[in-house]
Amino acid sequence: MIPVHKNSVFIPENVNTSSESGVSIILRNQEFLTTKASEILLFEDDDLKWTEMEFVHRQFLGYLDKKPCYANVLNDSSMIPQEMMLSSLRNLLGRIPDNLFVICSRSLQICDWYTANQFCGYCGKKTTMHEKERAMICDCNNVMIYPRISPCIIVLVTRGEELLLAHNKNFPGEFYSTLAGFIEPGETAESAIEREVFEEVSVSVQNIQYYGSQSWPFPSQLMLGYHAEYSKGDVKPDGKEIDKADWFHFEELPQVPTGNISISGQLIESYLDKLKS
């Protein structure tokens, strides 16, 4: 077994052209095999030869330090070694290095794509895997089914020294965050921001500025992060998704996400840095 160092380099790829032996991350039902201390383990091909664990399929992810890197999916009834356990990626957020998060995020999405597309949505026949591309194929109409990601916007709305933060009905306690939502088919990211902010808190925004993005594999979102300035309207939570929302002075913020876990935290931290500088 090998650890992933902060400096290890992972490059996503779809087809393995290397003859080197590989390394695998192991998962089942969206949980990863870890030590009891929640450290994710990577297994070398030689380690897997002697294990009693049983796998249903494995998916090539790319190269980790030039070695082929795979996601191995455990059979539902397979044993797992006594000194190990399964941990959800959500519980590991903020505690694993970025390069390992990329591997986990890709594992979840590639394995989910493979499982969900065993049959063609047009004709119902069994699909097969394309040999040269990351696609499931069906011979009806030459259908190619690629992994899909769902773009979402996430936006921090500000008014000078104040930040607009919202409490989602599903958030625990007094935890607040930025606003977010899926981009609808046909919509631009900017119009999704204007629509979502207005739907969720009845406020209009202006001067939308792109900040950065984050893969959020629960199950397949790509979060596009923005800052936006308040334009007009009184804050009124929609009562459906958002039960509380308000303006908070930057020196009196409620509990919010941290930047090492999510882009929401990075949007907040970068705005605070700007105010303090």
Residues near 4 by Cβ (< 8 Å), separated by ≥ 6? 40, 42, 64, 97, 99, 100, 103
Amino acid identity, position 187: E
- How near is the Cβ of 136 to Zn ion at its closest, in Å? 10
Amino acid identity, position 214: Q
Total binding residues for Zn ion by CB under 5 A? 5
Q: How far apart are CA 86 and CA 254, in angstroms?
A: 32
- How near is the Cβ of 132 to Zn ion at its closest, in Å? 19
DSSP 258: -
Give the helix/strand (H/E) hosting 159. Answer: strand 150-159
Binding of residue 275 to Zn ion (CB under 5 A): no
- How near is the Cβ of 119 to Zn ion at its closest, in Å? 8
**Degrees to nearest 5, angle at CA 205 with 201 and 206:** 175
Q: How far apart are CA 228 and CA 90, in angstroms?
A: 28
**In this chain, which of 140, 144, 253, 275 binds Zn ion, going by CB under 5 A?**
140
- How near is the Cβ of 141 to Zn ion at its closest, in Å? 7
Binding of residue 123 to Zn ion (CB under 5 A): yes
Q: How far apart are CA 168 and CA 213, in angstroms?
A: 21
- How near is the Cβ of 56 to Zn ion at its closest, in Å? 23
> Quick one: 118 or 204, whose CB is closer to Zn ion?
118
Binding of residue 120 to Zn ion (CB under 5 A): yes
Contact stretch for Zn ion (CB under 5 A) within 101-109, 120-128, 155-163, 243-251: 120-128
> Quick one: 124 or 185, whose CB is closer to Zn ion?
124
Binding of residue 154 to Zn ion (CB under 5 A): no
> Quick one: 138 or 242, whose CB is closer to Zn ion?
138
- How near is the Cβ of 120 to Zn ion at its closest, in Å? 3
How remote is the C-alpha of 184 from its chain's centroid? 19
Contact stretch for Zn ion (CB under 5 A) within 67-75, 138-146, 149-157, 178-186: 138-146
> Quick one: 122 or 210, whose CB is closer to Zn ion?
122
How remote is the C-alpha of 25 from its chain's centroid? 17
Q: In 3D, which of 162, 40, 17 has the Cα closest to residue 89?
A: 40
How long a stretch of residues is the chain? 277
Binding of residue 166 to Zn ion (CB under 5 A): no
Which residues here bind Zn ion, judged by CB under 5 A? 120, 122-123, 138, 140
